[in-house]
Amino acid sequence: MAEQKKLSGVAIGLMSFGPFVLYGFASGANHWRVATGGGLILCLIFLAVRRRRGDSIRLMDWTTLTFFAIGSVLMIGLRSTAFPAYNVVVIWSCFAVAAWSSVAIGHPFTAAYARENAPPEFWDHPVFIRLNLVMTLFWCGLMTVNVGFAVTGVIIGGNFGKLVPGFALPTALLIAGFVFNSRFPARYLARAGVTLGDGASQAVPQ
């Protein structure tokens, strides 16, 4: 049962990338209405699946929905000619604003992901709170830098602007962010004197 639930969670995690996979292929083929409208539909399906499973809808899930809703209104409703040029700026701006806002209101967005593995009794522990603040600030910086890359890509223009500062550099930073997510928490918890439970991947304060 636990293994089945784990596999189901992996499938749901892969589903979360579905809207952006479709968006990437469709926008690359210059089908912007398919990219935004199709992405919006896939995003709504993903959120419905999470809700049906009883999972909470996290800030970045809502942010993804917001981006595709904005894109759909601009491309399908208003037939914007500016959105294709500035779409990467809009993407990273949405996520950067959401990330910084979560810090500003005192609820770092990474805590929602961490709670999926950590036991409830650890959620209010100072180590858990500090860890997620550090991780969220890391992602705030990463997303803000990617906004800068996206703006640079628009300024440079052409294929080089789209491919290097517009795509390659933000993607490289995003990969670095996932590597950071996979390594930093365990190291931070170890330095703080916190151990991880076998198999359950649960953080237990010492």
In DSSP terms, 195 is beta-bridged to 204
State the pLDDT at residue 9: 57
C-alpha–C-alpha distance, residues 133 and 138, integer Å: 9
C-alpha atoms less than 13 angstroms from C-alpha of 189 in its C-beta half-sphere: 23
pLDDT of residue 195: 67
Domain ranges of the chain: 1-80, 81-206
Instruction: Give yes or no for a contact between 152 and 165, defined as CB atoms under 8 angstroms apart.
Output: yes
Rounded to the nearest integer, the mean pLDDT of the chain is 89
What is the residue whose two structure tokens read 């180590």?
Answer: 127
* 203 or 62, greater pLDDT: 62
- Of the pLDDT bands very low, low, confident and very high (cuts 50, 70, 90), residue 8 is low
44 compared with 17, residue with greater pLDDT: 44
- How far apart (Å, rounded) are the C-alpha atoms in residues 184 and 165? 26
The model's pLDDT over 136-191, given as tens digits with 9 standing for 90+, comes to: 999 999 999 999 999 999 999 999 999 999 999 999 999 999 999 999 999 999 99
